[in-house]
Amino acid sequence: MFSRRTSWDISATPLAEAVARRTAEGRPLLDLTEANPTRVGLGFSPAALREALADPRAARYEPNPLGLAAAREAIARYYAERGHAVVPERVVVTASTSEAYAFLFKLLADPGDEALVPEPSYPLFAYLAGLESVRTVGYPLRYDGEWHLDRHGLESALSARTRAIVTVSPNNPSGSFLKADELALLSQVCGERGLVLIADEVFSDFALDPAPGRVETVCGTPGVLAFALSGISKIGALPQLKVGWMVASGPEALVEPAMRRLEVIADTYLSASTPSQLALVALLARRAEVQEPLRERLRRNLETLRAARGPGASWQPLKVEGGWSAVLRVPRTRSEQEWALALLEEDGVLVHPGFFFDFPGEAYLVVSLIVPPEEFAEGVARLGRRLEG
């Protein structure tokens, strides 16, 4: 009766079951996985949001498949203010970056084709690609004091059915930015094989530590067809508005037919809402009101995490260059799942096990850096005691 695309294993994990039991029993929980900015005291004030959503033009329905002109112009200004030339005609507004991925998989791949995705990374790609009958193939990121794209691993992942390479910069959860030499490698591979580069840049405004050679955006990358994805969900801490976008760049001979096809795909859905697109203009212009306190919290929590590790401790926070998460390398005396369950059941602290993000080996835990600082500090203190216990 149901399609093979939806034949997922949706049974609850032991950690999810333990969280459900604890919640049902009314026992307190310090959630160090919380990634929703609207639940941790971040984001625009209700008054600012109401003002942005009060545009009288929202009462009219004037659909444009690629997005309202005002929204696309605001997105182009956002890039210009960061030093990158983008023309509105190369912007496609979507209801989310997830929808942008869906559009791109429709554009680029036939059933059974492949897209390369980084490991570790957020575990959404397999679902988004699978719903388009596209297969994801992982290529590794390696850590040796900082994260690197593994050239041999990338080349080994390529096949005759590869259609696109996805990069996430900064990566979620590792926090590593794409570097100039890595972009050069990806561009070379894409150019030689006729592949498309897709860059998820939703966290790119949130650099935390110096990262020499950091690539802010793939917009303007010469020689290959590239798409930069972002949205107000992270830029403005507004996931509820559901506005994302992609920016196409590269040789005109490739960009022009891609945009014509994307216009048809987007016209089939017309999913980005008029009020949210109009609000985007004001919210992007005022993004510093949200981003500055958010960055302050990220840095404060990152400092707390680093300070919690005592001399000679058996666990280590890995280097973070940007984004909203941090990765901990923990002792292999227990599996990631065992560490996460022990922290939950014995210390009341919820963390992500590394396998949730497709880490290639044990043992890693992942925490969110947007948790309120007092809660974060208490949770990290308990975590440190457990890891050293």
Give the pairing of strands 244-249 and 226-231. Answer: antiparallel
List, in order, residues 6 or more apart from 64 with CB less than 8 Å away. Answer: none
Residue 68 CA to its chain's centroid (Å):
24
pLDDT (tens digit per residue) in 125-156: 999 999 999 999 999 999 999 999 999 999 99
Half-sphere exposure of 253 (CA within 13 A, CB side): 4
The total of other beta-carbon atoms located within 10 Å of residue 286's CB is: 15
Half-sphere exposure of 202 (CA within 13 A, CB side): 23
Q: Could you give the CA distance from residue 192 to residue 319 in angstroms, rounded to a whole number?
A: 33
Give the pairing of strands 147-149 and 162-168. Answer: unpaired
**Same domain assignment for residues 30 and 69:** no
**Same domain assignment for residues 174 and 213:** yes
**Same domain assignment for residues 226 and 340:** no
15-36 average pLDDT score: 95
**Same domain assignment for residues 108 and 242:** yes
Q: Which token pair is 219? A: 């917009």
We report the CATH number of the domain holding residue 137 as 3.40.640.10
Residue 361: closest CA among 323, 329, 383: 329
Q: How many domains does the chain divide into?
A: 2
pLDDT (tens digit per residue) in 64-82: 999 999 999 999 999 999 9
pLDDT at position 310 is 87
pLDDT (tens digit per residue) in 176-231: 999 999 999 999 999 999 999 999 999 999 999 887 899 999 999 999 999 999 99
273-277 average pLDDT score: 96
Euclidean distance between the first and the last CA atom of the chain, given in angstroms as a whole number: 51
Q: Could you give the CA distance from residue 102 to residue 117 in angstroms, rounded to a whole number?
A: 14
Half-sphere exposure of 324 (CA within 13 A, CB side): 23
Domain ends where: 285, 310, 342? 285
Give the pairing of strands 147-149 and 135-143. Answer: antiparallel
Residue 163: closest CA among 224, 200, 114: 114
Q: Which token pair is 52? A: 């942005």
**Same domain assignment for residues 161 and 240:** yes
Contact 332, 363 (CB under 8 A): yes
**Same domain assignment for residues 274 and 293:** no
pLDDT band at 388 (very low <50, low <70, confident <90, very high): confident
pLDDT (tens digit per residue) in 244-272: 999 999 999 999 999 999 999 999 999 99
Q: Could you give the CA distance from residue 125 to residue 239 in angstroms, rounded to a whole number?
A: 18
Residue type, 52: A
**Same domain assignment for residues 185 and 231:** yes
pLDDT score of 389 more than 80: no
pLDDT at position 209 is 84
Domain ends where: 263, 285, 307? 285
pLDDT score of 360 more than 90: no
Cα dihedral 134, 135, 139, 140, rounded to 10, equals 120
**Same domain assignment for residues 316 and 367:** yes
What range does the domain containing 60 cover?
46-285
Residue 315: closest CA among 304, 298, 327: 327
Residue with tokens 């096949």: 159
**Same domain assignment for residues 90 and 163:** yes
**Same domain assignment for residues 35 and 84:** no
**Same domain assignment for residues 117 and 169:** yes
Mean pLDDT of the chain: 96
Domain ends where: 257, 285, 313? 285
Q: Percent of the chain beyond pLDDT 90?
A: 94
Residue 205 burial (CB < 10 Å; 0-12/13-18/19+)? buried
Contact 173, 122 (CB under 8 A): yes
Residue 350: closest CA among 318, 313, 319, 379: 379
pLDDT at position 133 is 97
**Same domain assignment for residues 354 and 267:** no
We report the CATH number of the domain holding residue 309 as 3.90.1150.10
Give the pairing of strands 114-119 and 162-168. Answer: parallel
